[in-house]
Chain A
């Protein structure tokens, strides 16, 4: 019983952290010529949940983040984009984690790549495919870079936390 309360509290803190990181990112846009590109800092929290907690909790964290973010900060359509991207991203990261040759940076790049792919697939239903095709190359290149950056951040955080836990 006590353990489940502790897990719920842990999940609550991680959700809050993911939301705060998303909000901070929204306030500080990246100085890139392509609009809408984000670093995806909240993905580090998702990676932490995936590597330190469990698959189930990582999926729950993604759903909570998307829903709360959708209701508080964005609109229903934005929530749809986040949900499709988030669902594909977490699925890819869970799958990539099982491959022994892939490090946390590779897992993060896979997640970022699938996030873009999920969002662009939903975008195809609403906007012309020509616009999606124009944006896709730049979004894919950015997913490579942002995925690597968030992966390195998550790796550093996990390294320090595992060192602290073992003390």
Chain B
């Protein structure tokens, strides 16, 4: 019985080690020079927008409107999306403070529409 738990624990430690490795690689990869909002659609950069300048970015794919990203003085958020789960909309406002707190907090992801919004902070370097 004890032997069983030892092997289970080894599996858990292996998974946690991989998580730590990915965390380090993620930090090294996500660096930028100024505060910008990067929007990716289908794995390609859709556009880069200055953070803090109020604007609405409507995203269309194959002639169909899929979502709207809103940037204001406080932050950036997914205003609306045609996806079923609405996880991206419920992610809420992405602020400088949030993005500074952790790397994962600097992203809004809409998996069904393959849209990602990233708040890249220049002072993170």
A interface residues, Cβ below 8 angstroms from B: 26, 33-36, 73-75, 77-78, 81, 96, 99, 101-103, 105-106, 109-110, 113, 123-131, 133-138, 140-141, 143-144, 148
List 26 A–B pairs whose Cβ atoms lie within 8 Å, in order of A's numbering: A33-B105, A35-B88, A35-B91, A75-B83, A77-B111, A78-B111, A81-B111, A96-B11, A103-B8, A105-B8, A109-B12, A110-B11, A124-B43, A125-B43, A126-B111, A127-B43, A127-B109, A127-B115, A129-B29, A130-B29, A131-B40, A138-B104, A140-B15, A140-B16, A140-B18, A140-B22
Check if B85 is an interface residue, CB within 8 A of chain A: yes
Contact with A along B59-102 (1 / 0, CB 8 A): 00000000000000000000000011101101100000000000
| Complex Cα–Cα for A143 and B19 (A) | 10
Judged by DSSP, the binding face of A is helix
Distance between B41 CB and nearest chain A CB, rounded to angstroms = 9
List of A residues within 8 angstroms of B25 by Cβ: 133
Contact B91–A137 (Cβ < 8 Å) = no
List of B residues within 8 angstroms of A77 by Cβ: 111-114
Supposing A126-B111, A134-B106 touch, asked if A75 and B15 sit within 8 A by C-beta, the answer is no
**Closest chain A residue to B26 by CB distance?**
A133
Contact A106–B22 (Cβ < 8 Å) = no
**Closest chain A residue to B88 by CB distance?**
A35
Distance between B87 CB and nearest chain A CB, rounded to angstroms = 5
A-B residue pairs, 6 tightest by C-beta: A106-B8, A140-B19, A126-B114, A101-B7, A137-B23, A103-B4
**Closest chain A residue to B45 by CB distance?**
A128
Number of interface residues of B (CB under 8 A): 43
Distance between B50 CB and nearest chain A CB, rounded to angstroms = 19
| Complex Cα–Cα for A117 and B84 (A) | 23
| Complex Cα–Cα for A81 and B112 (A) | 9
**Closest chain B residue to A142 by CB distance?**
B19
Contact A74–B85 (Cβ < 8 Å) = yes
Which residues in chain B, 15-57, are within 8 Å of chain A measured between CB atoms? 15-16, 18-20, 22-23, 25-26, 29-30, 40, 42-43, 45
Distance between A69 CB and nearest chain B CB, rounded to angstroms = 11
| Complex Cα–Cα for A39 and B93 (A) | 25
Supposing A109-B15, A135-B104 touch, asked if A75 and B112 sit within 8 A by C-beta, the answer is yes
List of A residues within 8 angstroms of B23 by Cβ: 137
Supposing A134-B30, A136-B19, A137-B22 touch, asked if A34 and B104 sit within 8 A by C-beta, the answer is yes
List of A residues within 8 angstroms of B45 by Cβ: 128
Distance between B44 CB and nearest chain A CB, rounded to angstroms = 8
Supposing A127-B116, A131-B118 touch, asked if A103 and B30 sit within 8 A by C-beta, the answer is no
